[in-house]
Amino acid sequence: MNVIPPPVRKKKPSTPRKKKPLNPFSLFLLIVIAAAGVQIGGRWYSFEKEKGLLEKQLEPYEEAEQYALLASRDGWYECCNCPAERVFLLRSEVWKYGSTIKKNRYPESFLEQNKVEYIVQFEGDLTACRKEEIRKIRMYKFSAENRKREIAKRLVRPPGNCRNS
């Protein structure tokens, strides 16, 4: 008995399917819907309005400043990282470094009460100002101002900076 094998079908090489281009009307409709807004939980949100609110909310972070509070006269100043809790600063020595998006962050009464003056050292966006602030706090221990102190009285950061950031 002869068995005849089933016929072998050759597979046609598959050609990748081409995606149909998006109908111009559908594309236009998607753009209009995206530009107009979206409804979420029964409330309609306008794209343009949200975009404006976002820009307004982010704007202050584009204009920040890195500042120093300097001793306005020779004298004893609070020190949050000194064993004695106070340190003697000469006029124009650094008491604290900081950064802010609020121009003139400290009221005049604070500056007078703490015998310090507010000096802007760097301006830019908040990220750049924070980097500059952290760099100055971290490198303070190597500053000429700090190294002129007796070894036992040297500080790891400015007297008014309680943390490294």
Residue 116's domain comprises 63-153
Asked whether residue 87 is domain-assigned, the answer is yes
- 24-49 burial, b if ≥16 CB within 10 A, otherwise e? eeeeeeeeeeeeeeeeeeeeeeeeee
Asked whether residue 79 is domain-assigned, the answer is yes
Average pLDDT over residues 110-124: 97
For the chain, the domain total comes to: 2
Kindly report the pTM of this predicted structure: 0.70
pLDDT at 88 over 80: yes
- Quote the tokens at residue 91: 């006029």
Same domain, 50 and 76: no
- What pLDDT score was predicted for residue 70? 99
- What pLDDT score was predicted for residue 69? 98
